[in-house]
Amino acid sequence: PFQVVGGKVKKPGKRGRKPAKIDLKAKLERSRQSARECRARKKLRYQYLEELVSSRERAICALREELEMYKQWCMAMDQGKIPSEIKALLTGEEQGKAQQNSAKLAKAGKTEANSSNP
């Protein structure tokens, strides 16, 4: 009654636990519940993906608008015109540098005044 397969002795019959007499109604109910949960997870996953896609589409639109603005600025500068936004940026940077330089000079003056007094 024993079979030898690949050097191993096999006993006839099934291995593992013997299936208990499972109540068919309970099994069907578990299956239905599992299907409900699966559908709910799928719905949530699709909602998440749709929100992700719409947020990325909004970001793409914003970037396209920004790119178009930069193209227009470049075209204007090619014609020798400086857009007012760039002028504002340049004057803002110049003012910022001037403020930083004056702050550095003030600090340097204070340290010199402190070091000259014994």
Q: Please tell me the predicted confidence (pLDDT) of residue 85.
A: 87
**Concatenated DSSP letters of the chain:** --EEETTEEE-SS--SPPPP---HHHHHHHHHHHHHHHHHHHHHHHHHHHHHHHHHHHHHHHHHHHHHHHHHHHHHHHTT---HHHHHHHHHHHHHHHHHHHHHHHHHHHHHHHHH--
What type of residue sits at position 61? C
Looking at the chain, how many residues does it have? 118
pLDDT digits (tens, 9 = 90+) for 15-31: 666 666 678 989 999 99
Above 60 in pLDDT, residue 111?
no
Q: What is the pLDDT of residue 83?
A: 86
